[in-house]
């Protein structure tokens, strides 16, 4: 099957430019360029380039050998070339001037391909004294994760045989992805299997490698052996393996006061829905816990942390290339991700991606890292604002609240680092405005952070 190949080189362009005599003359210019084509191998790539007329009026001198796209991106970055490969015809050869390739975030795409289903608020389970069998998850989450499995009635209750199964609205799905599932799996779709990625690092007393249910570390070999106490484990979830025993994951939806081995507040991992078997899902997920960035630096990518997953999916929600790779969209490996965080449970599916989507290489780009930094600041920013509303009794108006948010940003840009100084900076500006005091007279318009000045002004104005 043909795949994208890329070759870098220098291209000599001949352009007509007006000279001092107002006449046009040919001028030769050397530029850095890339050739893109779909090919079976290197020889096929070279054959396609030779047959193409894309270089008819210009010469191309290779500076690097042609490489498959994934290898190219891992070695050289330049991930924005993916966006020039979109909508290429199977036999097309495309020449891209490298001056057109952006080094930061690729072209903005307006379409959000992420489907989000939220259960809010989640009513956590308690100790369930006297109930048999004990529930694995709250009813609505249980029906979402295990749609074909009845919720067991409480046999300790009178007339338990007449208990009715609860019904909840299912998540919205894109009919086109259902069509894709049917094309891949057949008319009789296999049931969705439920898996869980457990972060053993958060629970050192747990030994998932000893579970009765299937459980395997995403780290293998010698490294896997050395990290078995802290590694992420893929686990096949059986909520009620036998009514005489409890699931080894019992507690994931329990309040910490329930005194279960696990509890909701530990944020121990994420759920996965897939129609594929354990090995297929396992081999797909093993690609992601250790990533390389565009500079070639390796690091751990904890996508199995509920907060990290939520942030990451929202960062790449407009990038079909990134979503395609992460979900294994071509083979529909990941039907959905599920994660509990704060007082909500989130369930993430995909809308149908464009048919010409080329899965991105497994590299964390600069714009993704910037997205994480931005979301980290947004969370910190919101916590500062919440602290102002909770602990400072100034009852800001709606306009003052808007100004406070902007002034919190301004304080950070000026170099204030301590939480106290950032909050006081914003409040000083609000109080000065209320009292009609010119900020210039307070020396607050200086460019550099000055914690001493902030402390003095605070005691003067509060």
Q: Nearest 5°: phi and psi at 191?
A: -65, 155
Give this prediction's pTM. 0.77
Count of beta carbons in the 10 Å neighbourhood of residue 361: 21
Q: Please, are residues 136 and 121 in contact by the beta-carbon 8 Å criterion?
A: no
Surface-to-core class of residue 149, CB atoms within 10 Å of its CB (0-12 exposed, 13-18 middle, 19+ buried): middle
State which H helix or E strand residue 375 sits in: helix 366-391
Structure token digits, residue 283: 């081999």
SS3 373: helix
For the chain (462 residues), the mean pLDDT of every run of 10, in chain order, is 87 63 64 89 93 79 86 78 82 81 50 96 96 95 97 94 94 97 97 98 89 94 92 96 83 94 96 98 96 85 97 94 94 98 97 86 87 90 91 90 91 90 92 86 69 87 82
Surface-to-core class of residue 380, CB atoms within 10 Å of its CB (0-12 exposed, 13-18 middle, 19+ buried): middle
Which residue is it, tokens 């001037």? 97
All structural domains of the chain with their residue ranges: 3-102, 114-361, 373-461
Residue 332: C-alpha distances to residues 169, 178, 181, 284 (Å): 23, 10, 7, 11
CA distance 46 to 65: 10
Q: Output the pLDDT for position 9.
A: 84
Q: Output the pLDDT for position 438.
A: 82
51 CB contacts (<8 Å, ≥6 apart)? Answer: none
Handedness of CA 376, 379, 381, 383 (dihedral sign): negative
265 CB contacts (<8 Å, ≥6 apart)? Answer: 255, 256
CA distance 142 to 149: 8
CA distance 277 to 448: 58
CA angle 78, 79, 85 (to 5 degrees): 110
Q: Output the pLDDT for position 103.
A: 40
Which residue is it, tokens 């307070």? 442
189 CB contacts (<8 Å, ≥6 apart)? Answer: 181, 182, 275
């Amino acid at each position: 099957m043909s795949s994208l190949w890329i070759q870098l080189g220098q291209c000599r362009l001949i352009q007509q430019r007006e000279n001092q005599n107002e006449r046009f003359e040919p001028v030769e210019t050397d530029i850095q360029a890339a050739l893109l084509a779909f090919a079976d191998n290197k020889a096929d790539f070279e054959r396609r380039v030779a047959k193409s007329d894309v270089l008819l009026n210009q010469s191309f001198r290779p500076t690097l050998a042609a490489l498959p796209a994934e290898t190219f991106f891992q070695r050289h970055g330049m991930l924005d070339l993916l966006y020039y490969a979109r909508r290429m015809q199977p036999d097309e050869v495309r020449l891209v001037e490298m001056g057109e390739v952006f080094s930061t975030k690729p072209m903005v795409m307006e379409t959000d391909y992420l489907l989000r289903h939220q259960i809010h608020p989640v009513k956590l389970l308690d100790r369930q004294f006297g109930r048999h069998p004990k529930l694995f998850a709250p009813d609505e989450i249980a029906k979402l994760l295990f749609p074909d499995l009845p919720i067991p009635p409480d046999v300790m209750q009178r007339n338990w045989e007449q208990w009715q199964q609860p019904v909840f609205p299912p998540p919205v799905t894109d009919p086109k992805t259902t069509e894709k599932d049917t094309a891949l799996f057949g008319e009789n779709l296999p049931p969705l299997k439920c898996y869980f990625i457990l972060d053993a690092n958060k629970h050192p007393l747990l030994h998932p490698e000893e579970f009765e249910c299937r459980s395997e570390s995403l780290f293998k070999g010698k490294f896997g052996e050395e990290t078995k106490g802290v590694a992420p484990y893929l686990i096949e979830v059986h909520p009620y393996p036998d009514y005489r025993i409890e699931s080894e994951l019992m507690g994931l939806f329990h309040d910490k006061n329930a005194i279960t081995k696990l509890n909701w507040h530990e944020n121990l991992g994420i759920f996965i829905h897939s129609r594929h078997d354990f090995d297929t899902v396992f081999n797909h997920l093993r690609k992601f816990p250790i990533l390389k960035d565009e500079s070639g630096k390796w690091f751990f990518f904890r996508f199995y942390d509920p907060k990290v997953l939520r942030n990451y999916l929202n960062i790449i929600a407009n990038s079909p290339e990134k979503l395609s790779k992460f979900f294994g969209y071509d083979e529909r490996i990941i039907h959905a991700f599920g994660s509990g965080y704060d007082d909500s449970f989130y369930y993430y599916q995909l809308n149908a991606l464009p048919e010409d989507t080329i899965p991105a290489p497994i590299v964390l780009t600069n714009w993704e890292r910037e997205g994480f930094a931005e979301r980290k600041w947004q969370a910190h920013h919101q916590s500062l604002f919440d602290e102002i509303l909770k602990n400072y009794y100034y009852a800001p108006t709606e306009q003052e609240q808007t100004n406070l948010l902007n002034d919190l940003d301004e304080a950070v840009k000026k170099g204030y680092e301590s939480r106290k100084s950032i909050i006081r900076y914003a409040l000083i500006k609000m109080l000065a405005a209320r009292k009609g005091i010119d900020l210039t007279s307070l020396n607050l318009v200086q460019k550099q952070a000055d914690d001493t000045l902030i402390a003095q002004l605070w005691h003067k104005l509060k």
